Amino acid sequence: MPSNAYVAHAPGYVDNEGPKIVTSRFGDPESYRLSNFENAGGYNALRAVLNMDPADVHGQVRDAVLLGRGGAGFPAGVKWGFMPPVWPRYLVVNGDESEPGTYKDRLLMERDPHQLIEGSLITCFALGLNTCFLYVRGEMALAQERIAQALNDAYEAGYVGRNIMGTDVSIDVVLTWGAGAYIVGEETALIESLEGNRGMPRLKPPFFPAAKGLYMKPTIVNNVETLANVPWIVINGAEAYKQFGSERSPGTRMLAISGHVKRPGVYEVEQGVVTFRELFYGDNYCQGIRDDNDLKMFIPGGGSAPWFFPEQLDLPLEASEVGAAGSMLGSGALVVMDETTDAVKACLRVVRFFARESCGKCTPCREGTTWEEKILQRINDGYGRMEDIDLLRSIGDQISPGPYPTAAFEEQGLTAVPFPPRQTTICPLGPSSVAPITSAIRRFRHEFEAKCAPGATNGEVHDAEVAEHDAEVTEEVSA
């Protein structure tokens, strides 16, 4: 098979051996239908909860140590406890999933929408609120269709709306489609968008959403996968949940793996137990690198994450261990790149995404990401100057102050990039653009230098040519 066949492949869910919490119904091709969901035990958790004390339901989720799956990995039960006793209050479900490499929430919404609705309703009950906003990314047409159908069916069956299942509990779920902006996945930008404003992040502090969020009322924003875990926890209990995964990261999580592996796709794996090596090479998972090539680098947690290299393969997929090694598991998106990958091009591709998705609210991000893209483009096109390499690092330093290591080896005292990133910006999008640059330069500086060397790609380069080339790129970038 030609190697580009793997790249062209659009991966979906891959069934594998191991415990299943959120993908347990994915084997059923019609799992999105209400009748199939009910036949598989769906809405039993909600039924059970309606006879419980909301505080006990909250307690179950807190005891399970359900870590948020949207990126930061904050425990859901603890976050829920930050809400002051103020009403009305809201739950916002973050289904905006747009981090490069991430496509697990889309599958959850397409394949098991009722599970998400049930998890959201249970959360509303636990937090004593009666309005939930479910925000789905603009481009996800099938997820929108399935969620809308599921919600209509759930309303008709009496699982949502007034007097749920004949009780005095009433909860409404409001659907909103995004317009396709990555930044709206950031919780305060999402809240702005829900309020009808342009999706731009709010400055935090003074207000955090749990205290003052949507319409300045207490608001919990949770990721789709986080909430999809809730029915299982309620039915099986926190102790059963903690049987899976590691002590610090219980349960399972969905990982989306793309790039140069033989079997890319979304896998449900036990947290903190499986290592990157097992995931990329194991028969139960990705089954190795395409064409049996060597691994060059991988992104362990979405485009915002600093890159890892073969020496990190034996780390477990555990947030604190990955954090200590200088990166993050983030949204659970892994991008694998083999030895044939051009590091400069890969870096440019990720940075271009952030430059185009910058909302423009703060100068270091708005200007800096565009400069980064332009400089990387000219290096890649053979118009770069040697000093561009350090110029890139200097711009990165203005967006997300270092110091950044220049090499990846411990004997030089330079193992990990500062993480979490420091920022001169309102939200972490700007600093996210710095991660691929520092990762690529510290490890593959020679590739940048080779592209900048006079005559390397396009012959002797003069300042006038560079200026002309910059003008062309500027025109392209702003088109």
Ligand X SMILES: Cc1cc2nc3c(=O)[nH]c(=O)nc-3n(C[C@H](O)[C@H](O)[C@H](O)COP(=O)(O)O)c2cc1C
Residues that bind ligand X (CB under 6 A): 68-72, 74, 76, 94, 96-99, 183, 185-187, 221-223, 226, 427-429
Judged by beta carbon distances under 5 to 8 A according to partner kind, the member of ligand X, ligand SF4, none in contact with residue 425 is: ligand SF4
| Residue 290 amino acid letter | R
> Sheet holding 219-223: strands in order across?
172-177, 131-136, 90-95, 219-223
Residue 361 partner contact from ligand SF4, ligand X, none using kind-dependent CB cut-offs of 5 to 8 Å:
ligand SF4
71 binds, among ligand SF4, ligand X, none (CB under 5 to 8 A by kind): ligand X
Stretch that binds ligand SF4, among 264-272, 404-412, 425-433, 445-453 (CB under 6 A): 425-433
Contact (Cβ atoms closer than 8 angstroms) between residue 108 and residue 254: yes
Residue among 242 and 366 whose Cβ is closer to ligand SF4: 366
CA gap 52, 478 in Å, rounded? 56
Grouping H, G, I as helix, E, B as strand and the rest as coil, residue 59 is: helix
Asked whether position 434 contacts ligand SF4 by CB under 6 A, the answer is: no
Phi, psi (5° rounding) for residue 177?
A: -100, 135
Is 256 a binding residue for ligand SF4 by CB under 6 A? The answer is no
Q: Which residues contact 433 (CB under 8 A, 6 or more apart)?
A: 350, 351, 354, 355, 365, 368, 369, 372, 396, 399
Residue of 94, 144, 425, 439 that binds ligand SF4 (CB under 6 A): 425
Does 190 bind ligand SF4 (CB under 6 A)? Our answer is no
By CB under 6 A, residue 420 contacts ligand SF4: no
Using the CB atoms, write b or e for 308-343: b if 16+ within 10 Å. Answer: beeebbebbbbbebbbebbbbbbbbbbbbbbeebeb
Q: How many residues bind ligand SF4 (CB under 6 A)?
A: 15
H or E element at residue 51: none
Q: Which is nearer to ligand SF4, 213 or 405 (CB)?
A: 213
CB 254 within 8 A of CB 22: yes
CB of 367 to ligand X, least distance (A): 18
Q: Which is nearer to ligand X, 300 or 382 (CB)?
A: 300
Query: What's the DSSP call for residue 182?
Result: G
Interaction between residue 184 and ligand SF4 (CB under 6 A)? no
Closest-CA residue to 77 (of 127, 10, 138, 143) = 127
272 within 8 A of 249, measured Cβ to Cβ: yes
Answer yes or no whether residue 305 interacts with ligand SF4 by CB under 6 A.
no
Q: Quick check: 191 binds ligand SF4 (CB under 6 A)?
A: no
188 binds ligand SF4 (CB under 6 A): no
Q: Indicate the residue among 200 and 379 with the shorter CB distance to ligand SF4.
A: 200
Q: For residues 129-159, b (16+ Cβ closer than 10 Å) or e, as one string?
A: bbbbbbbbbeebeebbebbeebbebbeeeeb
As measured in angstroms, the least distance from the Cβ of 390 to ligand X is 27
Residue nearest to ligand SF4 (CB): 365
Q: How far is the CB of 359 from ligand SF4 (least distance, A)?
A: 3
Q: Out of ligand SF4, ligand X, none, which partner does residue 301 contact, by CB within 5 to 8 A per kind? A: none
360 binds ligand SF4 (CB under 6 A): yes
User: Which of 375, 429, 440, 473 is close enough to bind ligand SF4 by CB under 6 A?
Assistant: 429
Q: For residues 68 and 185, which CB has a smaller minimum distance to ligand SF4 in the complex?
A: 185
Could you write out the DSSP letters of every residue in 187-235? HHHHHHHHTTS---PPPTTT--TTTS-GGGS-EEEEEHHHHHTHHHHHH
- Per CB under 6 A, residues contacting ligand SF4 are 183, 200-201, 358-362, 365-366, 425-427, 429-430
